[in-house]
Amino acid sequence: MKPFTSLRNTFSILALTLLFCQYSYAHNGKVAYAHPLGKIIIDGDFSDWRRNAIRYNIGTLMSDTKPGNDSDFSSFFQVGYRVDDRSLYIAFTVTDDDFIEDTSENVRFNTQDCLELCLDARHLTFGSGVASFMYSKKLRNINNAYFDPFARVAKWDIVEVAVVRKGNTRYYEWRISLGEHLTVGKSVGLDVNVFDKDADGSFTSSSWGKGDSKFRIPGSLGDVILLPEDKKMSTISGQVSWDRKMNARLPAGVRVVSIQNPALWLTTEVDSSGNYSVEIPAGKYELTLPDPYFQSGKEIYSAIQKKQIIITTKTGQLTGVEKLVITGAPVPHLIPEKGVLQDFNPAVANQVDDFIQSYQKYYGIPGVSLALIKDGKLVYHKTYGVKNTFTGEKVDSNTLFEAASVTKPVFSFAVQRLAERRVIDLDKPLYLYLPYPDIAYDERYKLMTARHVLTHRTGFPNWRWMNDDQKLNLRFTPGTDYNYSGEGFEYLKMVVEKITGKKVEQVLKEEVLDPVGLYHTFFSRNDSLKRMVANGHFDRLPTFDELPESPGMAYSMHTEAKVFTKFMMYMIEQKGLNAKTYDTMYSKHSEYKYDPGDPIPENPAYMGMSLEIRETPYGKTFGHGGNNGDFLCQFEVYRDLKTGYVIFTNSNTSYPLLRAMRQFLVEGKEK
């Protein structure tokens, strides 16, 4: 995983990448109604608001810490709009008996009480971008979705905020100029995070509706309908159900789209019994499920409707909707009894394509680059899908993907070549080559060696920004335990540059890229990489990722599947290093650690020299995975079979595909 400088991004990225969640462009099921307002002065005084403005409770708890009662921490908002200035107005009332305000230079969202408003102004059914505004006395952060015309250019100059504090209550009054996106009769996406820091160190977060990473994911927002003055309403209610007796949960929402005005759409929440009900302006609507596939438990189900559902509602009336029935048969399992790569032929190639494309549909994976090796030779290479879901540009054989932590074994290979020539001693303390001021306060760091780095036994955290204080520290004495760490590779990179007198990219070129033939592979920003790189995606929405200005040996390699097989085959043939070094690479150096409740692999797995080693019925394998959040990848080689695969994807939702590859290609269905 690459290092991120934003702590706000860190928490949300970890939540997304460590857990697979049902993805959706639909909003989170909460619906609010904005009425036109008279003249409003943004001063924190709500006396000029409509007296009957509806209060929407900000009561969805997003943190483990819970408020003791409403006096401890509670909040609600009211919403309206004005056509003359094309602005949305929001009034927040927050009750908090322990208000903390951070005025330090290192102010962050989780060091104080603050508020984050997340807005999807364009509100497109197929996905648009969120602009989020993080606000406190000294905090004025904005998160912009680069691909969205509104969110990309959103700045604080379109926002006006006033705050008044009276006793234990704070009143936040906001005006946000939506420009052309404020149209009476349409809907917009909106949600809010309210953060509460208390003197005892506890930190509580509440939102209007469910959903993670509201600052970036439109599907985590609620819907606000911009109603005309005195617009008469109607109500619809219905049920979603399985076509058979099932214990699995149903989809979380139903999408309601106006046929007369497609800009008016919302998602209404489905309860645990499958029931839903929502108030809407009278008119004609189509009802659908938001996504063609959804996950329930471990199974994937098709939500493709057999029959179109259209209803017409009338003012003041309740309209019942016919039942929306979903088949209880999960999509077919595609893992064969025997891995398809064992007997590869043109028919198998079609089976591979069907497998990849099915998983792309099931899990919303935009782009894939895949290559297969059998008997030490490249037998198949194929690219699938798109580089960017908004532009639709296709992935091709020149498209480059972030290789993430697959960078580590490539750098490790270069270091071991240097070690064989005695340019570096793998067991010599690194500080003797280059002291490291960032950790010099802890004398134990002087025990750290290159071997500790390559086997993840330095004691460093993965990244220092994962610590609350963002300080580099040691979790244990180097060499005494295992902890996966990118920080160690960055220290070793500096050591390699010091002792060789060369930039690390030149070292990689001489030790790996040129000998192996890894053309079309880059570690930092350049014009070629800019032209050919794919966009990463979170939940099918493209991300903006500034290409690395300098190379990171834990995360920054960019390449594609066919090219990377050259490295895999080089290692199969045991080139570039002597046999003793290869034996050391594939031997056990560190046992993996598993948290309580984690599944323990059936086959022994452990850390070799910057490689994951598995002992399977098909012999030892070596490989490595990569996760940069919006890019996931994996390679694995079965040494005795001289068979393997490498797959690169530009999505955070690719874990199920990566996990299934070894069974589909080699090992077959789990017994």
Beta strands at 31-36 and 222-226: parallel, antiparallel or unpaired? parallel
> In the structure, what pLDDT confidence band is assigned to residue 468 with cuts at 50, 70 and 90?
low
Residues 46 and 135 in one domain: yes
| pLDDT of the residue at 355 | 97
Residues 534, 381 contacting (CB under 8 angstroms): no
Lowest-confidence segment of 7-11, 227-231, 265-269, 273-277 by average pLDDT:
7-11
How far CA 254 is from CA of 56, 100, 213, 216, in Å, comes to: 21, 40, 21, 22
Instruction: Indicate whether 164 and 50 sit together in one domain.
Output: yes
CA 236 – CA 225 distance, rounded (Å):
16
Percentage of the chain exceeding pLDDT 90:
81
How far is residue 222's CA from residue 214's CA, in Å, rounded to a whole number?
A: 10
Question: Over the stretch 320-372, which tens digit does the pLDDT of each residue have?
Answer: 999 999 999 999 989 999 999 989 988 899 999 999 999 999 999 999 999 99
CATH number of the domain encompassing residue 48: 2.60.40.1190
Domain match, 392 and 508 both: yes
Q: Provide the domain limits for residue 96.
A: 7-226
Instruction: Determine, yes or no, domain membership for 311.
Output: yes
Is the separation of the CB atoms in 636 and 667 below 8 Å? no
- In this structure, the answer to whether residues 88 and 194 fall within a common structural domain is yes
Give the pLDDT confidence score for residue 469 in this predicted structure: 67
The answer on 512 and 593 residing in a single domain is yes
The tens digit of pLDDT for each residue in 511-550 reads: 999 999 999 999 999 999 999 999 999 888 998 878 999 9
Statement: residue 470 has pLDDT above 80: no
Residue reference for tokens 């990689």? 508
| 8 Å CB contact between 421 and 511 | no
Starting at the edge strand found earlier in the chain, the sheet holding 605-607 runs 377-385, 367-374, 643-649, 632-638, 619-627, 612-616, 605-607, 590-591
Q: Provide, rounded to the nearest whole percent, the portion of the chain with pLDDT above 70.
A: 96
DSSP 551-600: --TTT--EE-HHHHHHHHHHHHTT-SS-HHHHHHHTS--EE----TTPPP
Q: What angle do CA 494, 496, 497 make, to 5 degrees?
A: 65
Question: What pLDDT is stored for residue 25 in this prediction?
Answer: 58
Asked if residue 47 belongs to a domain, the reply is yes
Beta strands in 168-230 (DSSP E): 169-177, 187-197, 203-207, 222-226
* Location of structure tokens 């509104």: 150
Q: Coil, strand, or helix at residue 445?
A: helix
Closest by Cα among 505, 520, 517, 512 to 399: 520
Q: 128 and 261: one domain?
A: no
Whether 464 is covered by a domain: the verdict is no
Evaluate if residue 27 carries a pLDDT over 50: yes
| E strands, 270-402, in order | 275-281, 284-288, 293-296, 299-302, 309-312, 318-320, 324-326, 367-374, 377-385, 401-402
Q: Please tell me whether residues 569 and 638 are part of one structural domain.
A: yes
In a domain, 645, yes or no: yes
Rounded to the nearest integer, the mean pLDDT of the chain is 92
Are residues 454 and 426 in contact, defined by beta-carbon separation less than 8 angstroms?
yes
The answer to whether residue 515 is domain-embedded is: yes
Same domain, 375 and 516: yes
pLDDT in tens, 268-286: 999 999 999 999 999 999 9
Q: What is the pLDDT of residue 581?
A: 97
212 and 257 co-located in one domain: no
> What CATH number is associated with residue 363?
3.40.710.10
Q: Do 530 and 558 belong to one domain?
A: yes
| 418 found inside a domain | no
On the question of pLDDT at 122 being above 90, the answer is: yes
- What is the mean pLDDT of the segment spanning 377-394? 96
Q: Is residue 27 part of a domain?
A: yes
Query: What Å distances lie between residue 433 and 310, 409, 460, 487, 493, CA to CA?
Result: 72, 22, 18, 17, 12
Q: Tell me whether residue 417 is in a domain.
A: no
- Between these two residues, 594 and 336, which has the higher pLDDT value? 336
Token pair in block for residue 543: 């991300």
**Which of these three, 226, 259, 278, is where a domain ends?**
226
Q: Rounded to 10 degrees, what is the CA torsion of 386, 388, 390, 393?
A: -50
Whether 5 has a pLDDT exceeding 50, the answer reads no
Same domain flag for 218 and 297: no
Residue 455: count other Cβ atoms within 10 Å of its Cβ. Answer: 23
Q: Is 172 exposed, middle or buried (0-12, 13-18, 19+ CB in 10 A)?
A: buried
Domain boundary among 326, 352, 371: 326
How many domains would you assign to the chain? Answer: 3
Helix (H) or strand (E) holding 8: helix 7-18
Same domain? For 123 and 250 the reply is: no
Is it the case that residue 6 has pLDDT exceeding 50? no
Q: Give the residue-averaged pLDDT of 195-219.
A: 92
Listed residues 196, 226, 256: the one ending a domain: 226
> Regarding beta strands 377-385 and 367-374, do their DSSP bridges make them parallel or antiparallel, or are they unpaired?
antiparallel
Q: What is the pLDDT of residues 193-202, one digit of tens each?
A: 999 999 888 9
CATH number of the domain enclosing 253:
2.60.40.1120
Asked if the model's pLDDT at residue 20 lies above 50, the reply is no
